[in-house]
Structure 1
């Protein structure tokens, strides 16, 4: 039983370490799209992320002729970069989902039949589900940002800034989801008197 738990914990650490590396600033940084936008004199966001219920992009800030042409020449590149980031996040979410499912299956199939239980198991599962929902919501917003982006739109620079903000929210939500799964693993290992895993 202990070996089984260690295997699952090992899988968790393996995927988490890779995901943590992929989820670092170097991966989440929309470098090339931002260079294009910076060339169009896009200012850095100075305020904290707005609640999702507020207007997604405020005001009108169309591009001038030269900036519009420059943006249109790079629009495919921008779209591809934004889409790639969204796909990366979706892949991370899938890995976390797989780890969560395996840990829960191990608990119900191996730990409970052995007569050992986690007293706050239902609460931990509820937290995992809530954190996953938060990731889905943030990811849906970032997908909408990509779909809405257009150089000829009313505020293309604002759309890029919004995407960058939403991707930070996605990153934060993924970290919270990862932590909730880790909390479940720690609780199961504690219930079976196995060594508690080190911090990820």
Structure 2
């Protein structure tokens, strides 16, 4: 069985990938922080445009807005693709959305790490899979206080769960997305190995 049916290859595939990429490449973290007068998020902390780095501005509301917007730009294009076309097209749109967030052309291909956008894609295609991945993420973060470790483990969990529940197409997509997420976390993984990774604080002062 092919991961994606042959009918989706060719121009439909390329157009779906492009549409997903354009949606995913909207840098909500950068837009939200600038509109709120918090400056250029790329000059803060890790320089990442995702919600975790937005949180380093001390503006929890901005971080939440970024998280929701980044997830939405993964979920909505996939849902629209399924409604207007078919699931094969939706799978490719989902991949494009994550690629767009991680490598936006407008920001010299320096984007976020794809976790929130990937979560949106998984939610649209397999809510049960997202629930399992979210539980693994929360368990890892609560136990270790490493958000990066939780993100990596959640990305692996998504592919495994989709395969276990009998959805090989989604499992294939989630595996590709997982590889992207892991590669984008390579510096975090290096710091984890060296014992230098920053831990998230659950105190009220943070």
Q: TM-score, normalised by structure 1?
A: 0.32
Q: TM-score, normalised by structure 2?
A: 0.31
Which structure is richer in relative contact order (CA contacts within 8 A, separation 6 or more)?
1
Which has the larger Rg? Answer: 1
